[in-house]
Structure 1
Amino acid sequence: EPMICILLVAGHTSILDEEIQSDTSGKYSHLVGVPKALLPITEGQTILGLWWTEVRREFHEVYMVSNADKFKYFDRWATANDFPTDNIINDGTTTPEAEIGAVAAVELVMRTKRVDGDVAVISGDMLFSEGFDISGITRFFNAHDGEMAIYYEMQSQEEKK
């Protein structure tokens, strides 16, 4: 059975949000309220756009979990980027205190979309390094039984960027 992918983008606030809001130069005022996954990172590309480029080639179906507060941003992005809008699941939350968390978000997709089988869960607002190829991860998973968690440990010089 083909593997599906769930992109988690339902976070409400971050340190970055607070820094954008507190910037007094006005240079970043157009980014106030924009979800972290949709912030421009290079040549008009967003973090979510980079993930979408990777996962659309590799997975049978891709779903995205958004909160109610930011849903409209992701709906517009989906329409402009050939992402099926029916595959955006609104978790119904509007405040950080009401966040349901990653496990409940995955369960929400599994239940509402009747997903049964292998699932890759990706934090849709995390950057990945140049040359990253998700197909290597799925090949490794398919060759081994069990669950798998992937992470990248940053080197000290990377943390300063």
Structure 2
Amino acid sequence: MKAVILAAGYGTRLQRDVSADRSGRFDHLVGSAKPLLPVGRCALISHWVRALTASGAVDSVYVVTNALYRAAFEEWAAHFTNVQILSDQTRSNDERLGAVACLQLAVKHFKIEDHVIAIGGDTLFKEDFSLSQVKEKFSDFQAKCDDSCLVLSYQCRDEETHKYGILEVDSELCVLRMKEKPLPSETKSRRACPCFYVFSKKSLPLLDTFLEEKEEAPIEEKDAPGNFVSWLIPRKPVYVHQISGRFDVGNLPSYIECDLYFKENLQDAKSYMV
């Protein structure tokens, strides 16, 4: 299995918050890519690489970034033996390809013909999350059907459904549909779906089909990888693995919360996410 970490975003909300802050506490974050932000004792993305390596879940980690941050990611990656960096060649948020196109770019560039874990580079999970468990669950679903894919879900509050893709599942934990940012009245489900997906190797050619269909669509329809997952659900079996929650670093308050947790509350850094 391979891992593709999607890290080509420009972090516009976070950088706007950092520029507006007058305390000086966060000046060191100016111009930093979100996955490279210090979270606890290391960069956010380093938590992923360490866990992916220690769990044996994957044999290669590919990081897709942009031309603006490429040098910084290459400097970071020099500390690891199993990480390769790929630039999408864009230099601004207006030029961005979108996360689905970045995933496709990695699959083609690195000639991936294996199952792929796609991970949002600004996301971390609570301590109950285990890559070893995910690998085991995915293997179980693959034994049933080798087309099977796997996504995560966690319970969100009623007032949060409009922020997330919400999964509706059957009794076998197979996803029936994903509703994008529904009102609480529009679904009984409260299963939010974070940016972590295990795509079977048989599903990867559908990235091409999806992007061909969306060629003339606005970038918003191609950016969030959840749009591809939603499109994939009627075409391939997609199953759910439940977790307790996540950290999503989108703005300065969410970064501060995440960093504080990893500095003060993380119980076992060595086994985290393994």
TMscore range, shorter length:
0.7 to 0.9
2:110 to 102, 113, 129: 113
The structure with higher relative contact order (CA 8 Å, sep 6+) is: 1
Matches within 5 A, 1:1-161: 3-42=1-40, 44-57=41-54, 58-79=57-78, 81-84=79-82, 87-144=84-141, 145=145, 146-154=148-156, 161=257
User: What stretches of structure 1 move > 2 A for 4+ residues in a row?
Assistant: 151-156, 158-161
How far 1:69 moved relative to its partner? 0.7
Query: What's the TM-score, normalizing by structure 1?
Result: 0.87
More strand by share: 2
Deviation at 1:117, TM superposition (A): 2.2
Unpaired runs of 5+ residues, structure 2, are: 161-245, 248-253, 258-274
Name the structure 1 match of 2:200.
Answer: none
Structure 1 vs Structure 2: percent identity of aligned residues? 28
The TM-score with structure 2 as length reference comes to 0.53
Give the letter for the 1:148 counterpart.
L
> What is the aligned length?
155
Paired with 2:155 and 2:42, the residues of 1 have a C-alpha distance of 24
Larger Rg: 2
Could you tell me which amino acid in structure 2 is paired with residue 13 of structure 1? G
Query: Aligned letter for 1:147?
Result: C
Shift in alpha-carbon separation, 1:83–1:17, aligned structure 2, 3 A: farther
CA–CA separation in structure 2 for the residues paired with 1:93 and 1:66: 9
Residue by residue over 1:22-77, the C-alpha shift from the partner in whole angstroms, topping out at 9 and shown as x without a partner, is 111222111101111111121x3221011111112320211110111111111111
Measure, in 2, the Cα distance between the counterparts of 1:66 and 1:84: 16
Aligned mates of 1:152, 1:9 — CA distance in 2? 23
- 1:82-133 C-alpha deviation (Å, 9 max, x unpaired): 1446x11111011111111111111111111111121110012112112421
Task: Report the Cα offset of residue 16 of structure 1.
Answer: 1.7
Note the aligned Cα RMSD (angstroms): 2.1
- The one-letter amino acid paired with 2:48 is W
Distance 2:29 2:108 in 1: 34
In structure 2, how many angstroms separate the alpha carbons of the residues matched to 1:126 and 1:151? 13
Q: Displacement of 1:14 after TM fit?
A: 3.3
Question: CA contact under 8 A between 2:65 and 2:88: conserved in structure 1?
Answer: yes
